[in-house]
Structure 1
Amino acid sequence: MTTPDDAAFDARYVPADPYYAGWAPAPPRPRTDGLAIAALVTALVGLGLVAVGLGVAALVRIRRRGTAGRGLAIAGVVIGALEMVVAIALVVTVVLTWQQTRPLAGDVDHEQTVHARQLVAGTCLRELPPDGTVDEVTAVPCAQAHEAEVVSVYDFDAAAVWPGQAQADARVARSCELSDDEQAAGARIVTWAPTQQGWSRGDRSGLCLVVTG
């Protein structure tokens, strides 16, 4: 038989249900998505396109499954996208540089705008550009009316140091000569030498042009 005091004792000391005591066991943490980890790793090793693909796939799977790693996936996508932009810019730069330095075949078969570094002996120019730094010129077939023709190329030593503009001009000029027929026809020589800026980019060629106009 339970006395009133015993009942009070029992009510006071019976342990409470743990789920109502404020310390329920924490639910397990979601695991990190493997694709998210792979996206960040591939981005860090420079595989931009792969990282973007893995990161996008990881974000889709994380949203569907509720796994962790969204931040890793986003980081992989961002870094990978930046690497792709840099890679595209480098490719464009290489292509443009190649186009500006690829020598012509000599006489061209149609009128075209070319970079001065592409000119070779036998290329004819529709007109001479104004005095000063020469960048782009218009090459035309020599059978058409033209103002000048490249008759020779002077190559500086690839290991030479910059001699100064006056010396560069003089060296190219000394290599240029007119034939007797050209002299009789009243032709004159125009010389183009590398500038210091062009020299620093690897330009080591000077041009001798015969102007007939």
Structure 2
Amino acid sequence: MHYAPGWVEPRARLEPTAVWSLVVALLGLGPVAVALAVVALRRTAARHTRGRGIALAGGVLGLVGTVALAVVGTAAVLTWRGTQPLPADLSAPRDAHAQQLVTGSCVQTLPADGSVGTVRVVPCADPHQAQVITEFLFAQDAVWPGQQAADARVARACVLDDTEVAAGVRTVTWAPTERSWADGDRVGLCLAFVDGQVTGSFLDGTVSQP
């Protein structure tokens, strides 16, 4: 074949799918970018088009984006699960955040005084130390009243009858903290307990010490 002076072979066409893989990756759609990058790499080999480097860049960024989406998604699911109220008739022991407890929840062991994080919640038929007997609901639009005032408001809703007092039942209250209030926590809890562990429920009078 004779090449005329000044003639150069035409440059291979740029594979559009490779460009799209990079664009989609930059838009944060990691899984789509990875899929487009795979298609682009196959097409550049089959069609002898350009864009392999662009496809590789799109694929790498897509993988990074996919991992980031997975991490964020997992964290969101765990956060959501950690704020959902427990069923009152729990069928098996489980750890839960204090904000998840509801009236009737039985707590295996009361934590030490101070900020309450995760507690072990058990079916009330199992041995336990305390049970949530009432809830105090702050208004959703209420302004943070301060820790002392929040504690006092929950305590005023935590009342035992004379029979319970005579039986040695005592109460402890858990109020929102300033930090949990900022996260939307508006529920205070009143828990009844006695020395040692009990089975049954304070709410229906079936509680007894083994």
**Max Rg structure:** 1
Alignment CA distance shift 1:54-1:24 (3 Å): same
Alignment CA distance shift 1:29-1:189 (3 Å): same
C-alpha distance after superposition, 1:97-121 (max 9, x if no partner): 1221111111322222222111000
Give the TM-score of the pair, scaled to structure 1. Answer: 0.83
Equivalent-residue separation in structure 1 for 2:70 and 2:3 (angstroms): 61
Partner of 1:174: 156
Equivalent AA in structure 2 for residue 39 of structure 1: S
Equivalent AA in structure 1 for residue 81 of structure 2: Q
- How far did residue 189 of structure 1 move? 1.1
Which of 170, 193, 196 is 1:211 aligned to? 193
Equivalent-residue separation in structure 2 for 1:69 and 1:130 (angstroms): 63
| 1:110 partner SS | coil
Q: Is the 8 A contact 1:36 1:73 kept in 2?
A: yes
- How far did residue 81 of structure 1 move? 1.9
| 2:40 partner SS | helix
Equivalent AA in structure 1 for residue 155 of structure 2: A
Give the TM-score of the pair, scaled to structure 2. Answer: 0.84
Partner of 2:23: 41
C-alpha distance after superposition, 1:134-156 (max 9, x if no partner): 11111122222211110011111
| 1:28 partner SS | coil
Equivalent AA in structure 1 for residue 15 of structure 2: D
Equivalent-residue separation in structure 2 for 1:121 and 1:62 (angstroms): 64
Query: What's the RMSD between the two structures over aligned residues?
Result: 1.9
Equivalent-residue separation in structure 2 for 1:162 and 1:70 (angstroms): 58
Gaps of 5+ in 2: 196-210
Q: What are the equivalent positions in structure 2 for 1:53-92 lying under 5 Å apart?
A: 53-92=35-74
- How far did residue 64 of structure 1 move? 4.0
Gaps of 5+ in 1: 1-16
Question: Structure 1 vs Structure 2: percent identity of aligned residues?
Answer: 48
Equivalent AA in structure 2 for residue 50 of structure 1: V
Partner of 1:7: none
